[in-house]
Structures are given as C-alpha cells and as structure tokens.
Structure 1
Amino acid sequence: MKRTVAILALLAALLGVGGAGAWYLAARSRTLPPGFASGNGRIEATQVDVATKAAGRVLDVRAEEGDFVQAGQIVAQMDVEETAAALRTADAQAAQARQSRDTATHVVEQRKGELDLAAKELERQETLVAKGFATEQKVDQYRTTKLTAAAALAAAQSSLAASESAIRAAEAEVDRLKRLVADGTLVAPKSGRVIYRLAEPGEVLAAGGKVLTLIDLSDVYMTIFLPASQAGTLALGAEARLLLEPLPDRAVPANVSFVSARGQFTPKQVETQSERDRMMFRVKLRIARTLVEKYLEHVKTGVTGVGYVRLDPKAEWPSWLTSDLVDEARR
C-alpha cells in the first residue's frame, strides 16, 4: 500500500513538472522572427518595508498577509502614550515661556520709562547748574540715576531675549514630540499587497524595526537574461511582450527599463549547461503603471513566463505576440 501511494505521489509530481515544462517548451517553440529575442523569467515587484522610526511597543497591526492596502492607509499603531505625556509637558513649558516673554516685555517698557525720566531730570539739573540754582553734586546724583536706569533697561532687554530663545526651544521640542506621536501611526507608503507580517501587538521593536513588508504593485516587471550579442543592441524603452503561464495566449505589453552594464552568469532556471556557461546580461521588462493600476487586484508576483523584446524597432510583432492591451498601457 505504501509503495502504491509513493508511486502515485511521484507520478503527480512528474505530471506537475511536466505540465509547466510543456507550457514553457510550447512558448519557446513558436517561431520568433529576426529582430527579436526572448528569455524566461517571473513577475517581480519592488518590496517596501513599513518600519518604526523610534523604538517602542506595537499596539496594533491592522493588516494581514495577503491584504491589499492603499497608499496612506493606517496599517499599524505604536504605543506613544509616554511620548504624548512628554508632549503635554512640552506644551506647558512653551506656554510658560510665552508668559515669561510677556512679563519681560512689560519690564522693558517700564525700564524705558524710568530711563526717559532720569534723562529729563538730568537735563533739568544741568540747566539749573548753568544758571546757578543747583549744585554739581545734584547733577552727579541724577547722572548716576540715569546710568542705573540704562543698565536696568539693558538687563530687561536681555531677559526678553532669553525668553524669546526659551520659547523657540520649547516650540521646537513640541514639534519634535508631535512628529514622534504622528510617526507612531504607521501608514502604507505605497499601494500594494502585504507579503510579510513581521511583528505582532505587544512586541517591543528597536528604531527601524520592521512591522510589514509590502510589494509595490505599481512597479511590476519581469527580469530576463540575454547574451551580449542581443543585450548590446537593445535600447532602453524598447517594446516587449510577456507571455505568462496562467495566460499563455494573451501577451502583456511591457518596455525595457534596465539593461545591466555588467555581464553575469544566468540563473539556475536556464536549463542547458551551454547557456549557463555563457555570460549573460540582466534585462528588466517593466509593465506600464497605467495597465498595472487598472488590473491591480489581479496582479501577483512570482508568476513565471517568457519575456520577448524587439531588438529591431522596424520588425513586426508576430501574430501570437500582438496584444489587445497595448492601447490601455498607453493611456
């Protein structure tokens, strides 16, 4: 019985591999006219991490693996109660600094009045001395009074400047703490699908601790590898077509967005030893953002397929690579 089950399992596995291999061979066996090149690959997308800015405890995670989230959507919440308490203290200190500034302003006005009065009294005494109705001693007293009033004004003005500096420092601290409180609410920087949930409520994370990893479905591409003879003639922006395993009869339009400047060996997916021994160049075929956004809910990474690129811009696409999605991609 066990031997029978083992044989059946082996047959099922062989049938699965054979089915995928048959699809790949069928796609590659179609006649590709001159001016084109092809390579096998898989659909990929840019990964984006949602991470904490400051150390703290995770309060809530509002997304599961596989969920689709929109840019700006709240996906997690950190515990910021301690920071919020510090923010309230900083707000109170800023208010106190503003009150001190108002008091210092009144003192400056008072000292200006005292200095003005002392200056006028000194001027009157100097006039009386010139006419012989006052003594030099009296003039010296008022001169001293004026100097004292001037010093008091300078001290009051320094106190006012210090109050202004204290206000700026307090307001800067308030702004910093507000940002920390706001940063405790983690939002999705891009629209995409959650592929990893890396933290759970109650966990304490260091600064930069990852909570979720998304794939940015607005940046979807296939990577293929081409030999130098083909990669060297390939222009950035050249037209491409993708035939995916789930949709073998519907070509998806794309464009060449990157050609590696350095050669590298092809990955293990390339079947033959002779192909692996040749130096190959990595090429990215990016699907138009407008097309991806229209079919965003259906886009999945990891799907295998074959990418075709047009080396000669004058070459005509074969009928089996014409696509009804080209116009949608250009809109």
Structure 2
Amino acid sequence: MRKKIVPIAIVLVLISLAVLGNRYFNRPVDTNTYSGTIEGTELPVQPELGGRIVDLPIHEGQAIKTGDIIAKLDDSQVKISLDTAKSQQAQAQAKLNDLLGGARAEEIRRLEDLLAQANANAAGVGQNLQFEENNLASDQKLYESGAISKQILDAQQNKRDTLKAQYEGAQANVKAAQASLDQAQAGSTQPTIQAQKAAVDITAQSVKAAELSISKLTIKSPASGQVLYKHVESGQVVNPGTSLVTILDPNDLWIKIYIPEAKLNQAKVGRTAFIAVDSYPDKKFKGQIQYVSDQAEFTPKNVQTKEERTTTVYAVKISISEGKDQIKAGMPADVTLQ
C-alpha cells in the first residue's frame, strides 16, 4: 500500500511546482523598475600643509560634525616663524615711530660725533697725503738727475696713490655723516616715512601668513557625517593633499541606475522615482532624478544579467529625498520610475 502512495505524492508535488512555475514566469513584469545600489557622497579630508601628525582623535564609524577636529599637525616650526615675524613687525613699527616723532637729541649728538670723527680722520689722511706728494716731487727730481732708480720712483708713486684713495674715501665718509646729521636735524622726509610704513605693512602680512599657516595645521571636518575610512595613523608624516580620512555624508544619498535607450523617455531630470530596499519591504521612499547621462555606455557587469551586458544604456542618477534615517549606503535597491 505504501509503495503506491509514494509515487502519487511525487506526482502531486511536480504538478504543484509546474503550476507555481507557470504563474511565476508568466506574471507581469514591471518594466519601469531598475536595480542599483544606494550610495553616499564621500568627502576626503586633506591638509593644505604637510607635517607630522601629533593628534588623530577619530576612529572609523564615528559620527562627526562640521568643524570637529580630525587631526593636528606639528606646528613648532611655524610658531618660530610667527615669533620672528612679530619681532620684525615690532622693530619696523618702532623705527616708524621714531621717524614720525622726529630725531631725539641723543641721536643728533651721536651723528655729530660721527661727523667730527670723519672730519678728523680725513684731516689726518690729508696731511699724510700732502707729505707723500712732497716726497714724490723730490724723488722725481732725483730720478731725472740719475740719483735714484725708476723702481724707487714707482714705489713712491704707488705710496702716494694709495693715500690718495684713502683720502677720497675719508672725504666720502664726511659727506655721508654730514647728510645723516642734516636729515636728523631737518626731520625725516615724506618718502622715507612712506617707505617705512610699507615696511611695517609687509611685516604685518608676514604675521598674518604665519598665523594662517598655524590654523591650517589643525584639520577640521568640512561636513557632518560618518568617518568611513581612516587612512593614516598618529605620528605619521603626511604631504599636502594626503587623504587623512574619508567622511560619508548621510544626508546626500543617491542611487545610479541604467536605462535602455528605448525607455529613455521615462527619465527626465526632476521626475519623481520611488526606491524600495529589502530592509523595509512595505515602504517606498521618494527620490528625484538629478542627472541623465548624455552618452550611451555598456551595461556594467554587476548590474544586469549576462545576456544584457551588451545592451547600450544611459546612466541615471537619482537623489533620495526620503528615509535618510533608514536607508544606508551599500544597500541594494529597486527604483521605480513614474
């Protein structure tokens, strides 16, 4: 009796599978639904300046807000530059104050002493020059009479020429000392004051540049989101433009689908679309077509079946406007165009 029941049961099962299969394969297919993967905008955080990382207070998966500190780079060298710039600024300002306030009595006395020293030095060199001039005239007569050689005459000539050059230098020092004294007594000229004001401005800009460099060594998050990847570790030396971390912006979720050319009329920028994910089978989240490619391409292998890989399609990007607290990047999803 059992041997007859078993074959009958098998036949009934096969019939049931055939009926279900016929219903499945012949059910209507929504030709306006396309598959894709939820993606989010990834923001790489990169320093403008290089240096050694001294603090890295973040970890992967951490929620982060705009302005939160991502990393700090060593600022010891830049602080030295800032101190130097501030010192130069103070010196330039002090000199400008002196020019605007007029020369002090002590400065005038100092310049008068320098002028007196320059005059005394010039007078002493002048006396030596006159002495050697007389000696040269005497040697010239002795040479003409044959009493001395040409070598002795040339030596005296060189001695006189050396003193003459020294005397001319001493006279130039007298003129320079006199000009400095005259300027101090008359007060600084307007061009001199303007030049010093420019020097003060330059040093002020140097201070600002150093302060800006210090601020750039503290790298802050450009947006709120989640730390997706951490690419470096504390103590590592990085170059400008090195990616320190990658932040995922959970408020900028989107999905890319691929539509055959024959159905491209379904995709219009601004048109509404509905997104369904496996995690919430009874919900559909609203989205909006943000971009439609103007160039055809082959369907990516990870999107469609092998038979459809040779189909030329157009990429369509859909921005997700609902369910951002439920939908996560990386989820597979189906998109239905309206």
Bin of the TM-score, shorter chain as denominator length: 0.5 to 0.7
Of 304, 309, 315, which residue of structure 1 is paired with 2:337?
309
**Amino acid in the other structure paired with 1:246:** S
CA contact (8 A) 1:239 1:255 kept: yes
Of 80, 88, 95, which residue of structure 2 is paired with 1:85?
80
Taking a change above 3 Å as real, the CA distance of residues 109 and 286 of structure 1, as seen in their structure-2 partners, is farther
Please report how far the alpha carbon of residue 101 of structure 1 lies from its aligned counterpart in structure 2 after TM superposition. 1.3
**Amino acid in the other structure paired with 1:99:** A
d(CA) in 2 for partners of 1:218 and 1:152? 72
CA contact (8 A) 2:46 2:243 kept: yes
Of 209, 213, 235, which residue of structure 2 is paired with 1:180?
213
Query: Which position in structure 2 is the counterpart of 1:284?
Result: 317
d(CA) in 2 for partners of 1:291 and 1:91? 54
Equivalent positions of 1:219-298 (< 5 A) are 219-288=252-321, 292=324, 295=325, 298=326
Q: Which runs of 5 or more structure 1 residues have no equivalent in the other structure?
A: 1-25, 111-147, 311-331
TM-score between both structures, scaled by the size of structure 1: 0.66
Instruction: Find the residue that maps to 2:244 and give its secondary structure.
Output: strand
d(CA) in 2 for partners of 1:299 and 1:305? 10
d(CA) in 2 for partners of 1:244 and 1:188? 30
Query: Which position in structure 2 is the counterpart of 1:56?
Result: 51
d(CA) in 2 for partners of 1:181 and 1:251? 49
d(CA) in 2 for partners of 1:177 and 1:152? 39
Confirm or deny that 1:105 pairs with 2:100: yes
Instruction: Find the residue that maps to 2:329 and give its secondary structure.
Output: coil
TM-score between both structures, scaled by the size of structure 2: 0.65
Taking a change above 3 Å as real, the CA distance of residues 248 and 30 of structure 1, as seen in their structure-2 partners, is farther
Please report how far the alpha carbon of residue 152 of structure 1 lies from its aligned counterpart in structure 2 after TM superposition. 7.9
CA contact (8 A) 2:102 2:184 kept: no
Please report how far the alpha carbon of residue 285 of structure 1 lies from its aligned counterpart in structure 2 after TM superposition. 0.9
CA contact (8 A) 1:226 1:280 kept: yes
Taking a change above 3 Å as real, the CA distance of residues 240 and 151 of structure 1, as seen in their structure-2 partners, is same
Query: Which position in structure 1 is the counterpart of 2:157?
Result: none
Query: Which position in structure 1 is the counterpart of 2:161?
Result: none
CA contact (8 A) 1:108 1:157 kept: no
d(CA) in 1 for partners of 2:186 and 2:238? 53
Equivalent positions of 1:101-140 (< 5 A) are 101-107=96-102
Of the structure 1 ranges 81-90 and 48-57, higher mean CA displacement relative to structure 2 is found in: 81-90
CA contact (8 A) 2:275 2:333 kept: yes
> Considering only CA atoms, is the larger Rg found in Structure 1 or Structure 2?
2
Taking a change above 3 Å as real, the CA distance of residues 30 and 170 of structure 1, as seen in their structure-2 partners, is farther
Confirm or deny that 1:68 pairs with 2:63: yes
Q: Which runs of 5 or more structure 2 residues have no equivalent in the other structure?
A: 1-23, 106-180
**Amino acid in the other structure paired with 2:328:** K
Query: Which position in structure 2 is the counterpart of 1:189?
Result: 222
Please report how far the alpha carbon of residue 54 of structure 1 lies from its aligned counterpart in structure 2 after TM superposition. 0.8
Query: Which position in structure 2 is the counterpart of 1:142?
Result: none
d(CA) in 2 for partners of 1:280 and 1:238? 19
Identical amino acids, percent of aligned pairs: 25
Equivalent positions of 1:1-12 (< 5 A) are none
**Amino acid in the other structure paired with 1:61:** L
Confirm or deny that 1:37 pairs with 2:40: no
Please report how far the alpha carbon of residue 151 of structure 1 lies from its aligned counterpart in structure 2 after TM superposition. 11
d(CA) in 2 for partners of 1:278 and 1:227? 7
d(CA) in 1 for partners of 2:99 and 2:265? 74
**Amino acid in the other structure paired with 1:273:** K
d(CA) in 2 for partners of 1:72 and 1:30? 52
Please report how far the alpha carbon of residue 109 of structure 1 lies from its aligned counterpart in structure 2 after TM superposition. 12
Taking a change above 3 Å as real, the CA distance of residues 47 and 153 of structure 1, as seen in their structure-2 partners, is farther
CA contact (8 A) 1:38 1:226 kept: no
CA contact (8 A) 1:62 1:76 kept: yes
d(CA) in 2 for partners of 1:279 and 1:151? 86
CA contact (8 A) 2:267 2:316 kept: no
- The C-alpha deviation readout for 1:71-97, integer Å capped at 9, x for no partner, is 111121111121122112211211221
Instruction: Find the residue that maps to 1:277 and give its secondary structure.
Output: coil
